[in-house]
Amino acid sequence: MSRPRSAGVRPPTLQTLPEAIVRNTAIAGARTRSRIMAVVKADGYGHGAITVARAAIAAGARWLGTTDIAEASRLRAGGLTAPILTWLNPSGVDAESAAAGRIDVAVGSVDELHALIGQTSPTPVRIHVHVDTGMAREGCPEHEWDALFAGAQQGERQGKVRVVGLMGHLPSADHADPEANAPAVSRTHQARRAAQAAGLDVPLAHLAATSGTLTDPATHFGMVRFGAGLVGIDPSGTTELHGASRLTAPVVHCAAVAAGTPVGYDGAYVTDAPTHLCVLPVGYADGIPREISADAAVEIHGRRRRVVGRVSMDQTVVDTGADAVPLGTIATVFGPSDGATPTIHDWARWAGTIPHAIVTGIGPRVKRTFA
């Protein structure tokens, strides 16, 4: 089914709020003495990587983090000059592109290191040795550390790489429990000692992401990687951050219906009284979760209005009760908390997921703007 259209009606829009990113970065800065890396992977958690990066740098972040060299290169093309680290690089690392773009890369295995050293680049590639500190998901396992560090030291002598950092991950930081983080902290110290014993000078170590940044100074080392927190998400649930986006959609259809009216596919919801139903031109193809609880709602004219029936690919139905809502009226699907407006955390709860999935799931048909 195609989207209903009305002449002169504004399209569904996701607006990024840079001031909120500035405020969230400042909160992180107040929790740590270490430098801050603003992680803007997945297009800045769906908020626009360049916009998020600029706001974070303006607020004091000194590094940027991305998934791969392509993401980092787009930041460079956008005029950002801060150091950038990429640490997933699913398609591998092109040494020449990394060196030319002044882009650091993480190396988490002996094979990755050999593949990098085997390439030709005009200058050494800056690398962060990536060690497994307890997740068994990425990073070099402990029994291969000696081989990795020795290989990196040899690569430095050959002028192929320059080791500038050491990194790991906290497997349980969202629990906000320093005791749960202690094994990863200990492994990071152990890895630094092993690297130094192999003849490497590792000037910068980093372990903590958003939760560790906000809750456990022992995890901070020389830098923290603040990503989800930039856009208002604290996985630890300990800190009130500021929502950094607002998703709106216009009312494109409104009708009065009788009690007993089935709504949407299979009549999954049936009205229990005469009411008005409005249609918003967004659906699961645009990132509105299909499986949501009966509490799901949007804000219209300062009041929460329930989403009813099944979310369709292109449309969502809202019950506005006794109020007939004019076409073109703007509904706020989510935004910064103000009492009536649902937040991304509300939607995550209604959908049984995490807020990261809500903001990164907004589809390309939704217009992007910036406050």
Residue 30 tokens, joined: 């107040």
Q: How far apart are CA 134 and CA 149, in angstroms?
A: 19
> Could you tell me which residues are beta bridge partners of residue 279?
253, 317
Q: Which residues does 338 contact at the CB level (< 8 Å), separation at least 6?
A: none
Phi/psi at 253 (nearest 5 deg)? -160, 140
> Catalytic residue at 367?
no
Q: Catalytic one among 41, 45, 160, 284?
A: 41
CB atoms < 10 A from the CB of 260, how many? Answer: 10
Q: How far apart are CA 130 and CA 116, in angstroms?
A: 14
CA angle 139, 142, 148 (to 5 degrees): 70
Radius of gyration of the chain from Cα atoms?
24
- β-pairing, 297-300 vs 303-308, is antiparallel
DSSP H or E stretch at residue 128: strand 125-130
Phi-psi region of 56 (alpha: psi -120 to 50; beta: other; left: phi over 0): alpha
> Could you tell me which residues are beta bridge partners of residue 304?
299
User: For the residues of 139-174, what is the DSSP string, one character each?
Assistant: SB-GGGHHHHHHHHHHHHHTTSEEEEEEE---TTGG
Task: Give the relative orientation of helices 49-58 and 18-31 as an angle to the nearest 10 degrees.
Answer: 50
Cβ burial 71-90 (10 Å sphere, 16+ → b, else e): bbbbbbeeebebbbbbbebe
Q: How far apart are CA 316 and CA 248, in angstroms?
A: 12
Q: Which amino acid is at 59?
A: A
Residue 63 tokens, joined: 């590094």
Q: Catalytic one among 45, 265, 269, 367?
A: 265
Is 102 annotated as contributing to ligand binding? no
> Catalytic residue at 41?
yes
Is 35 annotated as contributing to ligand binding? no
Count, residues in the chain:
371
Q: How far apart are CA 228 and CA 232, in angstroms?
A: 7
- Write out the binding residues: 137, 313
Query: Which residues make up each annotated binding site for substrate?
Result: 137, 313
Catalytic residues: 41, 265
